[in-house]
Chains A and B, each alone.
Chain A
């Protein structure tokens, strides 16, 4: 029995980009079906069509064997289809319970019937073995638990088909394990799960069937037991090989960044970073591992001279850090801090660099110089489409990130701060960013890499510091540790190195 059948779905966007080119997808009832593909392969478009966000140009959708027209998420929910988006749709100041019932609150005499709501939700949490305190506010929950709330929202709405968009992107290994346990349990209860991802080891671990998309087309459908990670990767990326840069060993090392007993306050004047010290030498990549919200954000803002530390000293090339230091900084949230969506690609490529002599002509910004510079970067960093005048918001996330990376690392800065530089990127774009960072460190630059992706940290870093609760208690040599050990320190299960 097929839970979902999408037949020959075609969707074209205004810029004549064919996002989905006659895609067919069959998802059996009660299976975990992984949809894998590069960014821009059409995964999200396909799922947004299934979830009623926009209509297909051509093609049919059948749910449980009946042809349906899904013209809104509300209709999708009626058909018991639910979706957990990559960016959670939760209201931080409200409690878990309030978030779960939001939009379909039980009423009694025009008032919210909290008692009934709580009964129903508790029943769901116990029957699906999803453990979360209903009275906690979302803003006080770690990301892994927030995600469970999203799943509970779907179950509360009686979803039978659950779409999870890149669910492990923000999770620690431990949290990922728990999510997979939940997915297994949901499956055993007869739910159908569609998983969008590009982490192939996870696909291998959790899914029953895999559909591989490339450039808007289905390039392979296979049972998971018949596939290897290599075979899926080859289908995903096509014939292009992924080139992996190897780190060279820099002989001459000189101290670039020194962070000494630094304490940083957050917006609420609470110590978010407590007495942290470390150094980075030229040619070295120092990784900072940690669950989000443990002080990384404040630490990075202090080192990039956006936020003044309350205590301690930061020196760059043996000089005290000043606002004028134009440090290369790839911010964690590119939409919020890295780009201006309504600016063109060219305008974004000079963000923060608009006063550089490179672009100067008398008192103006010389457009022809900007153009030359932007065109050079677009080619060197493979930013697509090759058009410096279109607004950056029409680029895919991977290409936006490439633009940020290009702009930042071409700055004349001995230190590069990269915060979650590959979050949400596909394999190709991620390896591109990795290679770029490695190249820069080989040139002798010092790199501070903050990430919650442990595989990334282990691959790139020379040393890895773990930040927990604003403190760095342990710094490993990258080749002498592993994901599991880092995970223990990240979650505070272990605090000091014994």
Chain B
């Protein structure tokens, strides 16, 4: 119980301080912070449309958070969720607009597999280079992000795109992921869709692999003590490649929310930095898959909250608030840790 309190205390203090600093900035530009915050909270959490929007924004962040966390369990820092999501997204979209005759029962799994494979390929490259030549995954994944963005741009602008747009043709109707408002009537008007269920499933599979299988055990050993993994004769290179591959694959699936659940085509820049925010999500959730869902929801509030107030204040303010929050949350999680240790020691 204490543990739960401690893990909530840090983020909570961070949010309060970030809001406070944000309030000062809002006052400085001559607006009323109470009014701005009121709109922000009402817009995101005060009505079912807002909540739907928040969940829609949170969905890809669950995937990218899980992606970063998976690599992190193996002691690897995957900065490449962004690029992996782009490649996975394009592969999935291509499948969706190419195999238009397939029924949904085949096409939907196929697009998800394509998303996984595309992302996995991108993760594999970094993992292979790390295992084979020891080149650092942070540099490699960053570079691969650039390559992915450029490659997607080339494919859309030069080959597959609809002229005068930055997107591909629409994917087959049988590959659409339905919106919840269409199925249940909940969250009316919001693009919140069934890819969220895939995110939940992915979270459970993540937990199962990491905590229940010998493979997950080896990954955790590698992440916590590489030398012990070596002495236990685990195949470290194979583990590095596999964990980067899976990490990339998870990020790849993060693309389906936008492509199949919302716009129904691949659009350049669709990822909106979800891969990078995923790093913050995993960090704050401390790589715990279930905490990632909650953290992603919180970031969803920030993402959508920005949109709700952008007529009242400049959108840069929202960006500042988001960045402040990330820094403060990460700091406060540490501070609370130190306090906890001190408290336990003196108790």
Q: In the bound complex, do residue A343 and residue B233 qualify as a contact, i.e. CB atoms below 8 Å apart?
A: no
Is the CB–CB distance between B212 and A364 below 8 Å?
yes
Q: Is there a chain B Cβ closer than 8 Å to A305's Cβ? A: yes
Task: Give Cα distance in the complex from A171 to B213, angstroms.
Answer: 44
Residues of A within 8 A of B337 (CB): none
Complex contact A352–B227 (CB within 8 A): no
- Choose from A323, A326, A355 the contact partner of B214 (Cβ within 8 Å): A355
Would A337 and B228 be within 8 Å (CB), given that A352-B233, A364-B213, A365-B214 are in contact? yes
Which residues in A have their C-beta under 8 angstroms from that of B344?
14
- In the complex the two chains form, is A354's CB within 8 Å of B214's CB? yes
Interface assignment of B345: CB less than 8 Å from any CB of chain A: yes
Return A450 CB to nearest CB of chain B, in Å. Answer: 14
> Once the chains are docked, how many angstroms separate the CA of A170 from the CA of B81?
48
Select from chain B the residue with minimum beta-carbon distance to A363. Answer: B213
With A351-B221, A363-B213, A365-B217 given, is the CB distance from A323 to B233 under 8 Å? yes
Q: Provide the bound-state CA to CA distance between A341 and B344, in Å.
A: 19
> Are B224 and A340 interface neighbours, CB within 8 A?
yes
Q: Which residues, 205 to 231 on B, are CB-close (under 8 Å) to A?
A: 208, 212-214, 217-218, 220-221, 224-225, 227-228, 230-231
- Inter-chain contacts of A336 with B (CB < 8 A): 225, 227-228
Q: Is B232 interfacial (CB-CB < 8 Å)? A: yes
Are the CB atoms of A306 and B231 closer together than 8 Å?
Answer: yes
A355 to chain B: closest residue by CB? B214
B211 → chain A closest CB, angstroms: 9
Contact assessment for B213 and A342 in the assembled complex, using a CB-CB cutoff below 8 Å = no
B212 touches A306 (CB 8 A): no
Which residues from A are CB-within-8-Å of B224? 340-343
CA of A339 to CA of B228, assembled, Å: 6
Q: Is the CB of A352 within 8 A of B212?
A: no
Q: Cα distance A44–B233 when bound, in Å?
A: 34
Q: Is B1 an interface residue (CB 8 A)?
A: no
Which residues from B are CB-within-8-Å of A306? 230-231, 233
Q: B217 and A354: CB pair below 8 A?
A: yes
Q: Is the CB of B213 within 8 A of A340?
A: no
Q: Does B347 contact A (CB under 8 A)?
A: yes
Q: Are A340 and B225 in contact (CB under 8 A)?
A: yes
Distance in angstroms between the alpha carbons of A343 and B222 in the assembled complex: 12
Give complex CA distance A305, B232 in Å.
Answer: 10
A347 to B208, CA, bound (A): 16
Does A42 reach chain B (CB closer than 8 Å)? no
User: In angstroms, how far is the closest chain A Cβ from the Cβ of B231?
Assistant: 4
Task: Determine how close the nearest CB of chain A comes to the CB of B234; give it in whole angstroms.
Answer: 8
Chain A contacts for B233, CB-based, 8 A? 305-306, 323, 326, 352
Contact indicator per residue, chain B 319-330, by CB within 8 Å of chain A (1) or not (0): 000000000000
Query: Is A331 interfacial (CB 8 A cutoff)?
Result: yes
CB contacts (< 8 Å) of B218 on chain A: these are 354
Q: How far is the CB of A340 from chain B (nearest CB, A)?
A: 5
Whether A352 pairs with B231 at a CB distance below 8 angstroms is yes
Nearest A-chain residue to B218, judged by Cβ: A354
Contact B221 A340 (CB under 8 A): yes
Bound together, the chains give a CA A339 to CA B231 distance in angstroms of: 10
Residues from chain B with a CB closer than 8 A to the CB of A351 are 221, 228, 232
Which residue in B217, B220, B232, B345 is a CB contact (below 8 Å) of A13? B345
A364, B212: Cα distance in complex, Å? 5
Which one of A329, A354, A355 lies within 8 Å of B231 (CB-CB)?
Answer: A329
Enumerate chain A residues within 8 angstroms of B220, measured Cβ to Cβ.
340, 343
Contact of A337 among B214, B231, B347 (CB under 8 A): B231
B271 to chain A, nearest CB (A): 33
Within 8 A of B (CB), among A324-358: 326, 329, 331, 336-343, 347, 350-352, 354-355
Tell me, in angstroms, the Cα distance from A329 to B169 when the chains sit together.
60
Contacts of A364 in B (CB 8 A): 208, 212-213
Contact A337 B230 (CB under 8 A): yes
Rounded to whole Å, the gap between the CB of A138 and the closest CB of chain B is: 22
A87 CB → nearest B CB, Å: 16
The residue among B208, B220, B228 with the most chain A CB atoms within 10 A of its own CB is: B228
Q: Which residues does chain B contribute within 8 Å of A338, judged by CB atoms?
A: 228, 231
Which residues from chain A contact B230 at a C-beta distance below 8 Å?
Answer: 306, 337
Tell me which residues across on chain B come within 8 A of A54, comparing CB atoms.
Answer: 345
Give the interface centre of A326, A338, A354 by most chain B CB atoms within 10 Å: A354
- State the CA gap A336–B208 with chains docked (Å): 28
Instruction: Please report the C-alpha to C-alpha distance between residue A364 and residue B345 in the assembled complex, in whole angstroms.
Output: 37
Cβ–Cβ < 8 Å partners of B231 in chain A: 304, 306, 329, 331, 337-338, 352
Question: Which of these, B208, B213, B232, B347, contacts A352 with CB under 8 Å?
Answer: B232
Q: What's the Cα separation between A342 and B225 when bound, in Å?
A: 9
Nearest chain-A residue to B231 (Cβ)? Answer: A337
How far, in Å, is B22 (CB) from chain A's closest CB? 36
Distance to closest chain A CB from B338 (angstroms): 14
* Contacts of A292-307 to chain B: CB distance below 8 A: 304-306
**Roughly how many angstroms separate A340 CA and B226 CA in the complex, as a whole number?**
9
> Who on chain B is nearest to A407 by CB?
B232
Min CB–CB distance A324 → chain B (angstroms): 9
Distance between A60 CB and nearest chain B CB, rounded to angstroms:
19
A259 to B309, CA, bound (A): 75
Nearest Cβ distance between residue B114 and chain A, in whole angstroms?
A: 25
21 contacts between A and B (CB under 8 A): A14-B345, A54-B345, A306-B230, A306-B231, A306-B233, A329-B231, A336-B225, A336-B227, A337-B227, A337-B230, A340-B225, A341-B225, A343-B220, A352-B232, A352-B233, A354-B217, A355-B214, A364-B208, A364-B212, A365-B212, A365-B217
Going nearest first, the 7 A-B pairs with the smallest beta carbon separation are: A352-B232, A337-B231, A14-B344, A354-B214, A364-B212, A340-B225, A354-B217
